[in-house]
Every structure is written in C-alpha cells, then in structure tokens.
Amino acid sequence: MPDKATTLILFGATGDLAARMLLPSLYALHRDGLLPVDLKIVATSRSAHDDASFRAHARAALEAHVPATFIDDAAMGAFLALLTYVTLDATDAAGYQRLAAAVPAGGETAIFLSTAPSLFKPTIDNLEAVGLAGPHVRLALEKPLGSDLASSRSINDAVAAAFPEERTFRIDHYLGKETVQNLLALRFANLLFEPVWSSAHIDHVQITVSETVGLEGRADYYDGAGALRDMVQNHMLQLLALVAMEPPSQLDATAVRDEKVKVLRSLRPIRSEDSVTGQYGAGAVGGKPVPAYAEELGGASGTETFVALKAHVDNWRWAGVPFYLRTGKRLPDRRTEIAIQFRALPHSMFASRGARAAPNRLIIAIQPEENITLELMAKQPGLDRGGIRLREVELDIEQADAFADVRRRIAYERLLLDLVEGDPTLFVRRDEVEAQWQWIDGIRAVWEGAGTSPRPYAAGNWGPSAAIALIERDGRSWND
C-alpha cells in the first residue's frame, strides 16, 4: 500500500457532489483527527474563486449539510485553512500549470475527478503533461464510466495510459455504505450463515433499489442512461456480487475483487422474458401528485425508468437460485435492501397440529435505515388446546441501536479516507467494470432485438404489472 497522501486535489469542487458529500466528509474526517496532519486540499473548478471566496463557499456548504451539533468553530476554521483554490477549465492546458504550482513538491498526491466522462481524457493528458501523474499520484474516478463496454474500455485505456491499475480508484459509493461492508462481516465472520449460504438452503434472492424521486435536474444524463445503466450496471451488480461471492482468502483488495469478478463473469445472459422495463406516468407519491416522466423531460422518450430482472449465477454454489433485481423511479418508497429467502422445511412436524411454518428470511436494509432482520418461527404463547400456533418473529439488529456509541458515517467519508491512505479494497477494478458492462450490453441487445419498449406505470406504484408477473409465475412474491 502506498504512503498516505499529503495533497488531495478535488476536481468539480463547486459542484453539488462536493457541497453535499465531499466537503462534509472531509470536514468530519478532519474534525475526528483521521486525515494526515500535513494534508493540503487543493480545490478546482471553472468557477472564479480565490482562496478566501472558496473558503466562504465551503463554509456555506458545511453549514447547510453538516448537522449543527457537529459543527465546531475551531474545527471549522482549521479545516477551511487546509483549502486552497485554483480556477481551472479542464480543457485549458495553461490552467494545469497553475494547478501543479499549487501542489507541494514531494509526498503522495490523490486526485478526485468528478467531471463529465468526455473530459476524462483531456484532463488526464493535461495532468500527465504537468507532472501530476506517475508513481506518486493516484486517481479516483466518479461514475459514469462509459455508457457501454466499448466506451468504458476507451475511458479505461485513457486512464491506464497515465495511471496504472493499482493507482486507479473507481468509485461506487454504495461500497462505502456501512451495511454493504457489513454484508462481508455477516457472511464471513459468522459460522452460522456460511454453511447455509448456497442453493441447498436458499430459495431465491431479491435486490431492490427504489426511489420516490423523478429527474431532479438530471434530465440530460438520465434520459441518455436509463435505469439499467444508471443503477443496475454499478450499484446493484456490486450488491449481487457481494451476496454471491466465494469467501476471499483474506480481506485485501486483490482477494475480495477477484471473487467479485468470478461472480460477474458467471452471470447467465438475460432472456427477453426475464426482464421488464417501465416508464412512469402521472400519479401520486407520498400523497402528492407528480407529473409523468415525459412531462418532466419535456417530450416523449423511450428511456426506461424501471427495470426488473431475473438473473442467475451459473456456478456450483448458486445453480438454480434466481436473483430478482428491480429498481425504478417514482416508486412508493425509498428503499435499498437485499432479501435472502431460505427454502421451506422439507417436513414440518407441526402441520398435524394445525401449525404452519413459513420459510426463514434474512433482510439486509441498506437505506434509508440500516439494519439486519432475520425472520424466524416461534411458538405463540398459549395452552395449545386448539392446536399449536406458530408465528413469525423478527430478530432485528437496528444498526443505530446496536452501535449507538459509534457515530454513523456517510459513504464518502470511508471512500475519501481510503483514497488518501491508498487502500483500493472498496473501489472497483477495471475487470469488474468491464464484466458488468458486458452483461448489461447483452441485455440491451436483447431489448433491441425484441423491440422492447418501456411499459407504462403510474407514479406511486411498484412498476408495471408485468414486473409482478415476472416473480409470481415462479410462485414467489416481491418483498413489498
């Protein structure tokens, strides 16, 4: 692992991501004494600022997005003093000389690149030209990393020309979420689960990422991407890989990512009948009327805002176990969860006494609340003269209660700290990205070949009725 960075360069430092996530995360890490004491943060974007005006901008962002109880005047002042600013047009080579001059000589440099993909190559070329590449510089990239396998490879080739794989940190912010990381601990730190984590005991897996919002100012990007590329290609396939991966030999970047790649390469190509697409129409979410996608967009579109898939991982462990994935906008609630449905009992000795035993289920909730719930069967209290009664009860591990003595951190705190420290374990490797795109491209090819177009669904519903049929024709139901 390389040395800790002494300089962190933030591209896109006046953007929404920086205001909501990056600056608050860096402030929290600094306040808790987790950043290197000699770290210098160089912010850059096209906006015209000097150090003083950018620090004022950063203060306003922190006051808007950091809880008031966590703001400390002394810590705020000390953090703002770390910030310097360089105005830079990513396509203007002259500006990179000013950027390089702002970086102290010696030490490690970490660069966080949050720009449009079209700017990746000119930015990287200019960074290399002024010496901001090489063995003492590492680069973090925000998505989207392409729109298909070919464009992803083009971006990866441009990055690789200046930054070798071990110094390239591709971000999927879901991997920084505590409950996602806790999935590794749940599986591999508890002997209870690993022996039953296979097709012998698991009936199926559901992964749901639902949103109540619509376009929210992302019309240009979203209409060119759609739900499949925006959510399934990255976040949902990473969750699937963590659920399905074999036990890594050790907890390091190479071992963990090797096992994820094996899963992604084992995904069976999707058939037309195993996918459903939809686009929301007008409806109501949370009791409030909302417009149709086309109305929000300002015109008709064939872009899907909902996807449901029935996937299979074709390997020994998961043979015959379907993975049902669904994601969409303008759904009834905001939720990201993984539901592991175990098989039914082969024989119930309670049936002759009138009792029904439901299969066990493990639900890993990732957002908005983080918790783990294991549904078990228990005997209902009573004298049983009318027959034994069994009832589902929940063993509920609310993360906020179980770890009440530990402050909950947002995903970017972990990812930024790992970037500064040079730990790539929670970042995505090139072969992972390309395996994901290869599977996604196959789905889009099937849609194009079948002439698939999104089915309408009213905002506030769980997608088109065909998504319900997708799972119910197998005798199963979505965990709504």
Domain boundary at 121, 142, 163, which? 142
Domain boundary at 142, 161, 188, which? 142
pLDDT (tens digit, 9 = 90+) per residue, 168-182?
999 998 888 888 888
In a domain, 148, yes or no: no
Q: Which of 160-169, 173-182, 349-358, 439-448 has the lowest mean pLDDT?
A: 349-358
- Conformation bin of residue 444: beta by default, left when phi > 0, alpha when psi is -120 to 50: alpha
Asked whether residue 237 falls in the same domain as residue 286, the answer is yes
Reported as a pLDDT band with limits 50, 70 and 90, residue 383 is low
Residue 344, pLDDT above cutoff 90: no
Whether residue 102 contacts residue 54, with contact meaning beta carbons closer than 8 Å, is answered with no
Q: What is the DSSP secondary structure assignment for residue 313, as one 8-state letter?
A: B
- Give the CA count within 13 Å in the CB-facing half-sphere of 467: 27
Active site residues: 235
Measuring CA to CA, which residue among 210, 66, 69, 42 is closest to residue 130? 42
In a domain, 157, yes or no: no
What's the pTM value of the predicted model, to 2 decimals? 0.91
Instruction: Please give the residue that has the higher pLDDT: either 376 or 257.
Output: 257
Asked whether residue 122 falls in the same domain as residue 268, the answer is no
Please tell me the predicted confidence (pLDDT) of residue 153: 94
**Mean of pLDDT over the chain:** 90
Reported as a pLDDT band with limits 50, 70 and 90, residue 318 is very high
Asked whether residue 198 falls in the same domain as residue 80, the answer is no
In a domain, 162, yes or no: no
d(CA 342, CA 360): 5
- Conformation bin of residue 134: beta by default, left when phi > 0, alpha when psi is -120 to 50: left
Task: Return the CATH number at 14.
Answer: 3.40.50.720
Instruction: Tell me the binding residues for NADP(+).
Output: 46, 143
